[in-house]
Amino acid sequence: MPLVAAAAALMIAVRLAPWPGPDKPRERVKGMAQTASVTADDPRVLARGAAVLLLTAGRPDALTWVSTGDVIHPGDYLQAGYTAWRDGFGAVLSRDGAGAVNAYVPPGGAEMVALPAGIARSFPHSTILDGALGSERIAVVWCATVHPLEPLLAALRARAALAVPDDCMAREVVLDKRGLAGGPSESPE
């Protein structure tokens, strides 16, 4: 019972900051010397906390979180996810070891897909990785408004820094795609 009481006390002591609402709470934006009044529609808020971007890879029954430097294999599934406090739009883009640039989400089209608000949600499509070995640069992008994909894809083609619009945030991960012991296209049983 003492453990339950301690947990209850901790829950009371910990208070999550509310999402900026119509009462326009004040927020200190990193890098700003003074506190500024911002609303939920302010791009500074949207770009600095509107979503948490996640990336998993592996076999369908064994997806694990991945980050830069992690090893992946041909045939692995790649699944992007997010937590967002408001509806938005997103894309998952890639430049593989052979230099091919692709939009994994959406798999076709020129604009981002709609992403409803929610906790631990998945992007609408997963990707099965091809046999191109080497560094695979993945960009998971979330925006408050829809944007065309071409400027982002062009940056990947040029191996340039990914400059996202002001109402967007991006998570870039560079993974090491290696062949399996039996060859680059062999799948584990």
pLDDT in tens, 130-180: 999 999 999 999 999 999 999 999 999 999 999 999 999 999 999 999 997
- In sequence order, the β-bridge partners of residue 55 are 80
Average pLDDT over residues 96-100: 96
Q: Which of 150, 130, 128 is nearest to 141 (CA)?
A: 150
Q: Which helix (H) or strand (E) holds 141?
A: strand 134-143
Query: DSSP H helical segments within the chain, as ranges?
Result: 2-13, 43-47, 150-157
How much is the pLDDT for 108?
Answer: 85
Total-model pTM: 0.71
